[in-house]
Structure 1
C-alpha cells in the first residue's frame, strides 16, 4: 500500500506501508480522496510547530470503513464517511466548556497522527461522519475546509445585515465566501493580489472584489460602507502585517477573525481596538462543525467541487506539490485520488 510520507522538512517520498489494525474504539478507513491543504505545505516546509516526524500527512479526506476495532458499534463495514481530524481528551478546561478544538492535549490526524495520504488510516470511531447518499466521496473529502470557515464565522457572531470582508481568495477565503452566502450575508468583499483568484471569488458570489496591488483597498471599502467600516473581517490571507489595516477598516463594534499560525509579531494599535471596542478572535480547526457543513452540502447550499482546480493520483503527489508552489494563480484545491 502506497502512502505519502514527510520524513523531515523538504524530505518527502512515496513509501510502501502495511495497513494498521484498529484498536479499541477505532475504525480503519480506506481513503478514496484527500485534499492538499496549506497546512500540509507548511509541514513540508518545516513551518508547522505541531507536527511530529515522520508523518503521513492529510487531514482532509473521505472513504469507506473497511475494519472495525473492538467496542465499535453504530457503524458498518462499507459505510461511506468523512473524518473530523480533531481529537480531544474530553477532560481539560476547553473540553469541559465545549471547545474541544483547543483541547490542552489536542491531536490532529495528519499532524500528530498519520493521515489520509495513504491507502488506509486508523481513526477514532467518534470522528467519522456518515455521508448522505448523494454526496460523493470527492466532495466529502472537502468538508473539513468548510468547517474551518464555519468555525471562524461562528466565532465572529454575524448579525443580520452585516457586511463581511475576506482578506485572501485562496481556498479558505473561498470556503468563507460560500459559507457566508449560505448563512445569508448579502455584502461580501474579497481582496487578493491575484486577479485569477478574484475572478473565481466573483463567480462564487462575492459582491465586490479588490486587488491590493492596484486598488486603493481602504478608500474603496470605506466608500462601499459609507465611511462606517466593515462589521466582520476574516483574515484568510494570514499575513501578520495586515492587522493594522484590519483595525482601520473595522467598523465600531466590529469583529475580526484571525486564522494564521505565523509567529511573526503583528503591530497592534491599542487605540484602534479600544475606541471602536473591537473584538479580535482566534479560530483553530473546527468545533464539531461537520454535521452543519454536511447538511449544507446535502441541501445544495455549498459546492465543494467548485474549489477543485486539479485532480491527481497519489503517485503524482510530488507534482501536485510543485504545482501548488509554482502556480498559485491557477491552483485552488488539488484533490488527490488515492485509488487511481
Structure 2
C-alpha cells in the first residue's frame, strides 16, 4: 500500500508499505479521502513535540471498512466510515468522566500512531463511525474538523441570548462560526482576522460582522458599537488574545481557547473574577463524532463551504504548499486516494 510518510522533519515521501492487517478489536479502512490540517504541517516541519518519526500523518479521513480483526462483527465490512483520531485507554480518570481526548495514555492517530494519509489504515472498531449515504464523501471527510467546534461549544454552551466574538477565520474559526449559527442559534457573530479574504469566508459561513484588526483597535471598535461579547472563541491562538478577550468580555461571559502557543501571556485575576468569567480550553474531541454526523444529516452545518482545493494524493507536496502558503484563498484541502 502507498503511504505518505514524514521520514524526518522536512522530508516527506510516498512510500510502499506492507498492507496493514487489523488486530483484535480493530477494523481496516480503505481510505477514499483525507483532509490536510495545520497539525499535519507542524509534524512535517518538525514543530510538534509529540510526533515520532517516521510517521504517516493525517487524522481527518473517510473510507470504507474492508477487513475486521478478531472480535469485530464481519457485517461491518463495507460500511462507509470516518475515523475518530482519539485513541484512549478507557479506564483513567479523564476517560471515566467522559473526556477521553485528554486520556492519561492518549494516542492520536497521525501523531502518536500512523494516520490516514495512506491507502489503508487500521484503528479500534469503536473509532470507526458510520456515515449515512445522505452525506457525500467530501463532506464526510470534514466530520473531524467540525468535532473540534463541537467540543469547544459543548463547554461554552452558547445560545440565542449570546453575542459571540470569534478570533481567527481559519478552518477552526469557520467551523465554530457554522456551529454557533446553524446549531446553537446565537444572536450575533462577530469575527476578527487580519486577512480580508478570510473575513469574506467568515461572512459566507455565517458571520454577521467582520473586522480586520490589523490596524484597528478591536476594543474601541466594539465599544463604539456598544457590543460586549458574551461568548468568545480564540481560534487564532496568539498569546496576546486571551488578555484582550478578558478585557472585552461581558460580565458572566465564557471564553474558549481552541489551540495553544508555547509563549507565555500575562492575565489579570481581577479582570476574570470581577466579571466572574469562565475560561475553557479544548483539545481534539470527546466522543463528538455522532453529534457532528447528526448535524450534517440535519443540514445544520455546510461543510462543503470550507473545501477549497482537492488533489490526488500523489500531489501531496503541492497540496501542502498551497495549504501552508495561500491563506487568502485556501481553507480546507482534500487528498484523494
- Where does residue 176 of structure 2 map in the other structure? 176
Match of 1:92 in 2: 92
Describe the superposition over 1:279-316 as per-residue Cα deviations: whole angstroms up to 9, x where unpaired: 11110111111111111111111111110110001011
Aligned position for 1:305:
304
Q: Distance in 2 between matches of 1:75 and 1:220?
A: 58
User: What does residue 292 of structure 1 align with?
Assistant: 291
Three-state SS of the structure 1 residue aligned to 2:64 is strand
- Work out the CA distance in 2 between the residues paired with 1:91 and 1:170: 35
> What secondary structure, in the 3-state scheme, does the structure 1 residue paired with 2:279 have?
strand
How far does residue 223 in structure 1 lie from its aligned partner after superposition? 3.6
Q: Does the 8 Å contact 1:32/1:138 carry over to 2?
A: no
Q: How does 1:129-144 map to 2 (within 5 A)?
A: 129-144=129-144
Structure 1 SS opposite 2:101: helix
CA distance in 1, matches of 2:285, 2:325: 29
1:240 is paired with a residue of what secondary structure? coil
SS at match of 2:230: strand
Report deviation, 1:74.
7.2
Secondary structure of the 2:198 match is helix
Q: Is the 8 A contact 1:86 1:101 kept in 2?
A: yes
Q: Secondary structure at the match of 2:250?
A: strand
The whole-number CA distance in structure 1 between the counterparts of 2:238 and 2:282 is 15
Kindly indicate whether the alpha-carbon contact (under 8 Å) linking 2:312 and 2:336 is maintained by their aligned counterparts in 1.
Answer: yes
Contact 2:158 2:180 in 1 (8 A): no
Q: 1:149 matched to which residue of 2? A: 149
- Secondary structure of 2:240's aligned partner: helix
- What is the deviation of 1:26? 0.3
Provide the rounded CA distance (Å) in 1 between the counterparts of 2:51 and 2:163. 36
Q: Please give the TM-score of this superposition, normalised by the length of structure 2.
A: 0.97
Q: Report 1:251-270 matches (<5 A).
A: 251-270=250-269
d(CA) in 2 for partners of 1:311, 1:175:
19
Structure 1: 5+ residue stretches without partners: none
Deviation of residue 115 (structure 1)? Answer: 0.7
Q: Write the distance in 2 (CA, Å) between the matches of 1:270 and 1:46.
A: 35
8 Å contact 2:68–2:74 — kept in the other structure?
no
CA–CA separation in structure 2 for the residues paired with 1:279 and 1:171: 24
> 1:159 Cα deviation (Å)?
3.9
Which residue is equivalent to 1:52?
A: 52
Aligned to 2:210: 209
Could you tell me which residue of structure 1 aligns to residue 246 of structure 2? 247
1:11, distance to aligned residue in structure 2 (A):
1.7
| Unmatched runs of 5 consecutive residues or more in structure 2 | none
Superposed CA deviations along residues 222-274 of structure 1, whole A, max 9, x for unmatched, are 344x25x2111111001112221111111111111112232111111222112
Question: Aligned residue for 2:232?
Answer: 233
Name the SS for the 2:274 alignment partner. Answer: helix
Aligned to 1:78, the other structure's residue is in SS state coil
d(CA) in 2 for partners of 1:204 and 1:89? Answer: 36
Secondary structure of residue in 2 paired with 1:230: coil
CA contact (8 A) 1:239 1:260 kept: no
Instruction: Tell me the equivalent position of 1:190.
Output: 191
**8 Å Cα contact 1:34-1:335 kept in structure 2:** yes
Structure-2 separation of matches of 1:244 and 1:44: 31
Per the normalisation by structure 1, the TM-score is: 0.96
Is 1:166 matched with 2:174? no
Within 1, Cα distance between the matches of 2:260 and 2:4?
A: 24
Call closer, same or farther: CA 1:9–1:57 in 2, change over 3 Å: same
Give the Cα separation in 1 of the matches to 2:76 and 2:95: 28
Cα deviations by residue, 1:3-27 (Å, 9 ceiling, x for unpaired): 1101121121111112110000000
CA contact (8 A) 2:296 2:302 kept: yes
1:23-77 CA distance string (max 9 Å, x none): 0000000000100001111111212122121110000000000101110027421
